[in-house]
Amino acid sequence: MRVRKQRMRAELRQYLDRALQGVECFSKTYDDPGNPAEGFVAVMTCSEADEACPVVSGAALRF
C-alpha cells in the first residue's frame, strides 16, 4: 500500500508539472499588486477564506 501511494504521488507530481507549465501561482491576498487584476482563478484553501471572500473581483473562476 505504501509503495502504491508513493507511485501515485510521483505520477500526480509529473502530471501537474506538465499541466501547469507556464502557470503562475500566487499565495497572497488576491488584491496584492503583484497579482493580475482579471482573468485569474481564485482558489480558497480554507473555510475562513471561503467565508471572508465570497466574491473575488476579476476572477474568471473561484473554487
pLDDT single digits (tens) 3-57: 777 887 888 777 777 777 766 776 777 677 877 888 888 888 788 877 887 888 8
Cα dist from 29 to 11, 42, 54, whole Å: 31, 10, 14
**Amino acid, single-letter form, for residue 46:** C
Q: Where are the beta strands (DSSP E) in 1-63?
A: 40-42, 59-62
CA distance 51 to 44: 9
Domain count, the chain: 1
pLDDT attached to residue 1: 64
pLDDT attached to residue 20: 72
Instruction: State the pTM of this model.
Output: 0.49
Range of the domain at 31: 23-63
pLDDT attached to residue 47: 84
| Residue 58 located in a structural domain | yes
Contact between residue 34 and residue 28 where contact means Cβ atoms under 8 Å apart: yes
| Residue 32 located in a structural domain | yes
